[in-house]
Amino acid sequence: IIAALNSDSQDIPNRSIYVKQFQTWTRSSGSDDPDKYCSTCNVWRPPRASHCSECNGCMERFDHHCGVVGTCIAKLNHRWFTLLLLSGQFGCGLLLCGSILRLLKRDYPSAWKQAETYILIVLAVTYGYHGLMLIFGNAHCLSLVLDVTSKDMVSNWQHVQKNPPCLPGARSPCRLVAVWQSVCCGPVRPRTFRPPRPASG
């Protein structure tokens, strides 16, 4: 179809749904956001999907590419990424509380002469810092609840403002429940290895 569209052929069924915007073909899919054609993957991307240049593939409900875990955070693994952040935050909180309790049992601050006091202070500061850094888990939990991705907040904020969560429209409570079911309770698919595509050119 793309070759026919590029040659301005009028023999394409439903030719009026295809529009070229900024060197990218789009097609109307019945929603406010059109499907976009990815020339790298040779697929029509649904709304809110994006191509990741790091993973070299299109991801549905793309959130971001995480260099820490080395993969894209998208529809199929957003719940696991959020769970990883929340469990890390919970673990840091427990270790911080344990360090503080141990310091109090050692009669802190009068126990400065023992090496364990210094070690416990360093551990408490480290766990506290990491617990604060992992607060992104709370933000991702909220983004799952409101069906907003990091990419939506950064590059598609007008769409979020047009469709605010929990109001009638694309993010009505009934639609949010359907999204929660598909993202949080969807099937778990094992990741298959895809060899990288050779560079074109």
Question: Token digits for 200?
Answer: 């074109």
DSSP string, 21-80: ETTEEEE--SSSSPEEEETTTTEEEPTT-EEETTTTEEETT--EEETTTTEEE-TTTHHH
Please tell me the number of Cα atoms within 13 Å of 184 on its side-chain side: 16
What values do phi and psi take at 20, rounded to 5?
-100, 120
Given the residues 38, 52, 55, 66, select the one marked as catalytic: 66
Q: Is the distance from CB of 81 to CB of 140 less than 8 angstroms? A: yes
CA dihedral 169, 156, 14, 42 (to 10 degrees): -130
Bridge partners, 20 (sequence order): 25
The answer to whether residue 185 is catalytic is no
Task: Give me the count of residues in the chain.
Answer: 201
User: Among all residues, which ones are annotated catalytic?
Assistant: 66
